[in-house]
Structure 1
Amino acid sequence: MKYQPPYTITSKIIHLVAQISESIGRLTVLTQIQDGLKLRKANRIRTIQGSLAIEGNTLSEEQITAILNGKPVIASPKEVQEVRNAIKAYEAFQQWKPSSGQDLLQAHQILMTGLIDEVGQFRHGGVGVMSGDRVVHMAPPANQVNRLIGELLQWLDESPEHPLIKSSVFHYEFEFIHPFADGNGRMGRLWQTLILSQWNPIFVNIPVDSLIYQNQKAYYDALQASTDQTDSAPFIEFILQMILVAILSSTVTDQASDQAGVQDSDQVKRLVTLMDKHEYTLAELMSLLGLSHRATFQKNYLNPAIEAGLIERTIPDKPKSPKQKYRLKRI
């Protein structure tokens, strides 16, 4: 009987998949309209910084940019090596096939060269996941890793599941198996991005890892909840939420670069990322942001978002109608 990872497709997962699919279409159109080379580079740097920061790397986006440009930085050799490895991994990224075990090992070798001895090979000993001084997960024995990863890669290759769900399930299962002596977190996140980029190449440049870093505790909590329930649904929901917010954030940034009226894209980004498919009154939107001054909200948040084409009025021909509501703009 073929291996089948345990997961449940919840209504929240279905809703998130629909939202992401709609939002990725909007972002794809934007990137086709404008030259986003500088933005893609910035997002790549944010991805590298976020993924490595989760693992304890303290280098800033500015320092990573300097390393990318071949400039010296004052930092520990280990942290500089981690950045250089990540840059090389993303340069080789599109050559890999998600279901290839050989490519998986090659990616690990690139990511971990100069950092550990066991590069490009599965671990030879036991390993546990720690939270402070407490072991929260004991990974399967080392002699089971090759079989478990083989079954997972075969499932990945043959599963008809939507790539958003399939990549999230893979990410969780990969972390559960913990196949390497070190580097499992950054490998799991890298491989999910690879899987998604096979569905839509734009995922290469969406900085999901940066958001995971900002929500690091929730990331580990979702992993633990899925392990406790023997069902990766909590982790799938969390990761899809991070993907959605990352896409919406990238959409706002792209729009802001082309819209002179958007003076502070961070404020617009904050508004858009808090909204879902509901229709909101002005008061409800202000409540989402915890704001009480209507004029400031309209000037700094709502009007720029409308001008950028991210939010629309439900009664566009009567802007001041007392029945007016607002929603994310439909494609």
Structure 2
Amino acid sequence: MEPRQFAGSSTGHVRRIGSGELAYWAFIPNPLPPKLTLDTELVNVLDEATLALGRLDGIGSQLSNPYLLIRPFTRREALLSSRIEGTQAELTDLLLFQLDTESLGERDRDVREVMNLVGATEFALEQIASPGGLPMSLRLLREVHRRLLHGVRGQERTPGEFRRSQNWIGLPGCLLRQAAFIPPPAEELPDLLGNLERYIHQPHEYPLLVRAALVHYQFEAIHPFQDGNGRIGRLLIVLCLLHWKVLRCPLLWLSAYFERHRDQYYDHLLAVSQHGAWREWLMFFLRGVYQESVDALRRVEAIMDLQQKWRDRLLATRQRSAKALKVLENLFVWPAVTIPQVQRLLGVSYRAAKMLVDRLIAAGILTRWQPPQVRPRPRWFVASELLEILAADTVNAPSPGQSENHRAAGGQGEAV
């Protein structure tokens, strides 16, 4: 890390650590909040992001059973957040994991990392929602981190504990002195994390979406864990929005946006540290909130329409029994099933479960799924229409200020 690149920073300072050939420079961010000027353009983008998020939260609060959507949305987020860190897995791999873990083969390690993030995310959401759960706190983040790294790559890096040694950020395999960014030394963490926790809990004049962007930057600049900081930091955004009651149902997730614009995501975070480029980071972040709010709203509407269409199909075929509807509801939790799973779900015989699956196939709800290079047993069935909605990269949400009839410009490396 070159200290001269941070010489003009208003967001922190660099400090020389050690001496001689072993010396290096680390960046220590200032406590939150910074002094910001919210100009007219930024406020306009903020307003559009806030309205889009409000529309999403409104439809989420109307769902009779929001769990039906929360679970598939959290799995999609875990997949994309892990992909930003280089983990290679697809949604179909997660389906395989839940149906038959022995069929994963060489993909097993990556998929287990994603499923660990799923479990850690669901734990955090349960704690935030429960009156008796862990509050929004450093303690909660440590427990989430412990679950994230349990039994997978990084498990030797003190899961559930803040680091006691120096870490750094750079190309894979780079040495400390080759790093692009070196976070503060471990002895600075108690004060920095204490300030971060207080800022999350104390009221402040900045709008809550702006505060979420500040919190995410600060967490990434501190980089308090030896591993897993990016995944925890992106989860922290949603936890803050839930804690502040901006969201009542966790349907907004930003990793899809960050993954599409990965280079810009990292560049904006680094530019805040190097040049105090808060405005550029806030614009980028708020555009992401807008785009992903619109995208999530369209997915929710598509899923609700599909749910009604499936119910109508069952009614038309005179197969709309309570058991069929229960299987239907379970498919919205996760769009893949085996006959033994239906048997356990309903408490019926294998023959009865098979007959019900056959009826759902006849209604065009389930299709037989045989992934390549996996064992042929048990037979797997997927809700292909629902899987397509969940697996789609984007539903072409426009950028703030653009007409809903025009797609947003952008792809990785382009302006957003």
TM-score (norm 1): 0.74
Tell me how far 1:49 sits from its aligned partner. Answer: 0.6
How has the CA–CA distance of structure 1 residues 52 and 33 changed in structure 2, closer, same or farther, with 3 Å as cutoff?
closer
Is 1:120–2:160 an aligned residue pair? Answer: yes
The within-5 A match list for 1:176-325 is 176-198=221-243, 199-202=245-248, 204-257=250-303, 269-270=395-396, 273-277=397-401, 285=406
- CA-based RMSD of the aligned residues comes to 3.2
AA matched with 1:142: A
Q: 1:71 to 1:16 in 2, by over 3 A?
A: farther
| Superposed displacement of residue 149, structure 1 | 0.7
Amino acid aligned to 1:140: P
**Matching residue of 2:183:** 139
Please tell me whether the aligned partners of residues 136 and 239 of structure 2 are also in contact (alpha carbons under 8 angstroms): no
Secondary structure in 2 aligned to 1:205? coil
Q: Is the 8 A contact 1:85 1:112 kept in 2?
A: yes
In 2, Cα distance between the equivalents of 1:219 and 1:267? 18
Contact 1:59 1:75 in 2 (8 A): no
Cα–Cα, structure 1 residues 149 and 289, in superposed 2: closer, same or farther, change >3 Å?
Answer: closer
| 211 and 130 in structure 1: CA distance in 2 versus 1, 3 angstrom threshold | same
Deviates more, 1:110-119 or 1:49-58: 110-119
SS class of match (1:120) = coil
Instruction: Out of 193-202 and 35-44, give the one that drifted further.
Output: 35-44
Tell me by how many angstroms 1:188 deviates: 0.6
User: Could you say which structure has the higher helix fraction?
Assistant: 1
Offset, 1:202: 4.7
Look up the equivalent residue of 1:174 and give its one-letter code.
F
Note the residue ranges of structure 2 that are not aligned, 5 or more in a row: 1-29, 129-133, 307-384, 411-416
Secondary structure of residue in 1 paired with 2:238: helix
Matched-pair contact (CA < 8 Å) for 1:252–1:268: no
2:115 corresponds in structure 1 to 84
1:18 to 37, 41, 47: 47
Report whether the alignment pairs 1:8 with 2:52: no
Asked whether the equivalents of residues 287 and 399 of structure 2 are also in contact (C-alpha less than 8 Å), the reply is no
Deviation, 1:106, is: 1.0
- Quote the residue 2:193 is aligned against: 149
Q: Percent identity?
A: 22
State the AA in 1 paired with 2:36.
T
Structure 1: where are the runs of 5+ without partners? 291-331
Aligned-partner residue type, residue 107 of structure 1: V
From the CA coordinates, give the structure whose radius of gyration is larger.
2
Alignment-derived partner of residue 67 in structure 1: 97
Query: What is the TM-score with the length of structure 2 in the denominator?
Result: 0.60
Residues 110/267 of structure 1: CA separation in 2 closer, same or farther (3 Å cut): closer
